[in-house]
Amino acid sequence: MKLFLKIWRQKNANTKGKMMEYTLEGIESDMSFLEMLDVLNEDLISKGEEPVEFDHDCREGICGTCSLMINGRPHGPDSMITVCQLHMRSFNDGDTIVIEPWRAKAFPVIKDLIVDRTAFDRIQQAGGYISVNTSGRPVDANAIPIEKDAADASFNAATCIGCGACVAACKNASAMLFTSAKVSQFALLPQGQVEAADRVLNMVKQMDLEGFGNCTNTGACEVECPKGISLENIARMNREYLAASVKG
């Protein structure tokens, strides 16, 4: 397979970037997208050129590190997968593939296709946790009965891998889907009720401080999310936020 690549190259956050064009031959349909980029980098290195920097870790669709805009879509043309799960059989011989980093003020480019997503970490640190008694007499979590619907909804929210596709897909670069998933996974469980009000207020405040936009219910975030996180979580977070604001 012969491919024509247009890839964003940028030395660092303080320099201007530009699209660079590359031609790649001998790509097999069973290769993953990241393996294709590995082949490109091997070719560039053999020519004495600087390889394209891109993020990756598990290559199993778990960590969310491999976040790229491919032909204008977060994680590429297929649904419910991350870039590392995308294979070259999704493309055709002679295709032109445009590869860019996430585009958001809160995700500044570090180099080439790598962006700084520590804004998500700071939102999580603002309240995405529960405080547990570790005095030696903790109550086993399994001893607390939880309705199956609530447990399932909490688990579904917890499957968010923090990749940032929701932000990249949103015309406002909103992080509402990510933040609401992290709020919902605890809001649905009794263990999360003690700190519920502080959690939602602090996490939404931090989200705004990071410079993310607001939600306008377009729904692109849910469509492009590799884990299918539901917009219902945003509605739940809004209810939690309103209740916490009135209570406070």
pLDDT digits (tens, 9 = 90+) for 41-84: 999 999 999 999 999 988 888 888 999 999 999 999 999 999 99
* Residue 135: per-residue pLDDT: 72
Q: How far apart are CA 114 and CA 65, in angstroms?
A: 9
- Please report, for the domain that includes residue 216, its CATH number: 1.10.1060.10
User: Is 214 found in the same domain as 121?
Assistant: yes
- Domain check: are 56 and 107 in the same one? yes
What is residue 248's predicted lDDT score, i.e. its pLDDT?
Answer: 63
Q: Both tokens of residue 173?
A: 């670069």
What pLDDT sits at residue 27? 96
Shared domain for 131 and 61, answered yes or no, is: no
DSSP category for residue 22? E
In a shared domain, residues 123 and 107? no
What's the domain range around 236? 117-247
So what's the pLDDT on residue 143? 79
Q: Tell which of 62, 96, 111 closes a domain.
A: 111
Closest C-alpha to 222, from 232, 235, 207? 232
Of 64, 1, 54, the C-alpha closest to 27 is: 1
* 128 in the same domain as 231: yes
Q: Are residues 20 and 37 in the same domain?
A: yes
Nearest alpha carbon to residue 130 among 201, 203, 193: 193
Q: Which of 111, 143, 177 is the last residue of a domain?
A: 111
Contact, 142 vs 182, CB < 8 A?
no
Domain boundary among 92, 111, 130: 111
As for how many domains the chain has, the answer is: 2
Report pLDDT for 236.
97
We report the CATH number of the domain holding residue 47 as 3.10.20.30
Q: What is the pLDDT of residue 232?
A: 97
Contact 49, 57 (CB under 8 A): no
Q: Give the whole-angstrom CA distance, residue 62 versus residue 82.
A: 8
- For residues 86 and 124, membership in a common domain is answered with no
User: Tokens 């980098």 appear where?
Assistant: 41
Residue 76 Ramachandran class (φ > 0 left, ψ -120 to 50 alpha, else beta): left
Give the pLDDT confidence of 97-145 residue by residue, as tens digits. 999 999 999 999 999 999 999 999 999 999 999 887 767 666 676 778 8
Number of neighbours of residue 222 by Cβ within 10 angstroms = 17
The answer to whether residues 171 and 59 belong to one domain is no
Interatomic CA distance for residues 187 and 193, integer angstroms: 6
Say whether 165 sits in a helix, a strand or coil: helix
Q: Of the given ranges (14-23, 139-148, 174-183, 197-206), which has the lowest mean pLDDT? A: 139-148
Cα first-last separation, the chain: 61
Same domain flag for 100 and 121: no
Q: Is the pLDDT of residue 245 over 70?
A: yes
Same domain as 58, residue 85: yes
pLDDT of 188 over the 70 cut? yes
Residues 159-165 have a mean pLDDT of 96
Place of tokens 């263990």: 191
pLDDT at 211: 97
Same domain flag for 94 and 134: no
The answer to whether residues 77 and 174 belong to one domain is no
Q: What's the mean pLDDT when you consider all of the chain?
A: 94
What pLDDT, on the 0 to 100 scale, is given for residue 141?
Answer: 65
